[in-house]
């Protein structure tokens, strides 16, 4: 019986800022099996970075919260779910507005969701105050005509 997804990976780490690069690189490495362009890979890395940074800064008051990432590949699309069990977002529509930030004292630009909406094909935000937030992003990877041998299809 074939799995619903062609491939899947799960990652869990503490909400420390030093883990943002780890998350970004890990998801990019996973997405690389679709052979994305440099621009597509950059879009994925930037989007993961923005969402993980949001979780680190806004979800928890201490660095011992947990952030989870589930990345899936189905056909030519990478699906990335990033979730936390932190504070949640009180007003999702307000949080989506460019330049809005709930922590102005940190001199953040408030452009995270705007950036992700521009770099990814889909962005879904689910949040319950006091229970946490789950962000789901999708990116379709363009298929460039390539000769594929049977050995090249080991992972997909």
pLDDT tens for each residue of 20-42: 999 999 999 999 999 999 999 99
Is 54 a catalytic site residue?
yes
Phi–psi pair at 109, nearest 5 degrees: -85, -20
Mutual orientation of helices 19-31 and 38-54 as an angle, nearest 10°? 140
Residue from 8, 108, 117, 126 carrying the catalytic annotation: 108
Residue from 50, 105, 107, 117 carrying the catalytic annotation: 50
Is 3 a catalytic site residue?
no
- CA angle in degrees (0–180, nearest 5) for 76-71-100: 105
**Separation of alpha carbons 53 and 16, rounded Å:** 9
Name the helix (H) or strand (E) containing 1.
none
Note whether residue 63 is domain-resident: yes
Expressed as residue numbers, the domain containing 50 is 7-149
Note whether residue 28 is domain-resident: yes
Whats the size of the chain, residue-wise? 156
Note whether residue 2 is domain-resident: no
pLDDT digits 0-9 by tens, 116-132: 999 999 999 999 999 99
pLDDT digits 0-9 by tens, 43-93: 999 999 999 999 998 899 888 999 999 999 999 999 999 999 999 998 888
Going by pLDDT thresholds of 50, 70 and 90, the confidence category of residue 1 is: very low
Residue from 20, 24, 54, 81 carrying the catalytic annotation: 54
Which runs of consecutive H residues, i.e. helices, occur in the chain?
A: 19-31, 38-54, 92-96, 112-119
The answer to whether 10 touches 27, Cβ cutoff 8 Å, is no
Q: What is the mean pLDDT of the chain?
A: 87
Going by pLDDT thresholds of 50, 70 and 90, the confidence category of residue 147 is: very low
pLDDT of residue 96: 82
Note whether residue 156 is domain-resident: no
Q: Which residue has the higher pLDDT, 114 or 146?
A: 114
Is 90 a catalytic site residue?
no
pLDDT of residue 104: 57
Number of domain units in the chain: 1
Note whether residue 11 is domain-resident: yes
**Separation of alpha carbons 42 and 138, rounded Å:** 14
pLDDT digits 0-9 by tens, 91-102: 888 888 776 666
The answer to whether 17 touches 56, Cβ cutoff 8 Å, is yes
pLDDT of residue 95: 82
Q: Which residue has the higher pLDDT, 103 or 56?
A: 56
What are the b/e assignments for 100-109, b being 16+ CB within 10 Å? Answer: bbbeeeeebe
Note whether residue 107 is domain-resident: yes
Note whether residue 1 is domain-resident: no
CATH, residue 49: 3.30.565.10
pLDDT of residue 122: 97
């Amino acid at each position: 019986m074939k799995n619903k997804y062609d491939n899947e990976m799960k990652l869990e780490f503490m909400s420390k800022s030093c883990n943002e690069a780890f998350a970004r690189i890990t998801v990019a490495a996973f997405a690389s099996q679709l052979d994305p362009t440099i621009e597509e890979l950059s879009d994925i890395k930037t989007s993961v970075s923005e969402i993980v940074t949001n979780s680190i800064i806004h979800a928890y008051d201490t660095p011992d919260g947990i952030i989870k990432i589930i990345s899936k590949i189905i056909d030519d699309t990478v699906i990335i779910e990033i979730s936390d069990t932190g504070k949640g977002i009180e007003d999702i529509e307000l949080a989506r507005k460019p330049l809005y930030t709930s922590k102005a004292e940190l001199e953040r630009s408030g452009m995270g969701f705007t950036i992700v909406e521009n770099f990814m094909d889909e962005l879904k935000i689910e949040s319950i105050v006091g229970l946490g937030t789950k962000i789901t992003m999708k990116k379709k990877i363009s298929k460039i005509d390539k000769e594929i041998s049977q050995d090249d299809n080991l992972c997909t």
